Amino acid sequence: MDISGRVNGVIRGIALWTALGIVILGVVLAAIGFLIAGGYIWLSHRMDHAAAAASLGGGLLAVAVLIALIGGAVIRKSKKRYPSLLTEFSGSIGLAGRLVAMLIRRDPKKALILSIVAGALAEYITNDRKK
């Protein structure tokens, strides 16, 4: 299990999503500002410049949506896929089982001694009393 790799991946993903969110928030706030200014100017003066400001605000909103879609797709593609913890654990248990079976077939006496030592070690590690 590569815990440090998983943690690094999660931290990198959080940082990328945070940066993407800040950029999108900035573009959306600028778009809202242009829409408000454009609407105000258009309603007060009924001039072509105001309609241009309103269309610029709409264009900025469209750019924000495009940034969100493209940025999200890039981040999802760059994310490294890890197998599930259950898959890794079952693979480790399967390997341990095959090794134990091979050891028992080769030398049953050593397997018996190793199982006694492993049991004593497990009891010592999981014991509640600390010496």
Q: What is the pLDDT of residues 52-87, one digit of tens each?
A: 777 777 777 888 999 999 998 988 888 777 767 777
As given in the structure block, the two tokens for residue 98 are 């095959």
Alpha helices of 46-107 — where are they, by DSSP H? 48-78, 85-106
CB atoms within 10 A of CB 39: 15
Query: pTM to 2 decimals?
Result: 0.42
- Residue numbers in the chain where pLDDT is lower than 70: 1, 43, 46-48, 83, 129-131
What's the rounded Cα separation, in Å, for the pair 36 and 53? 9
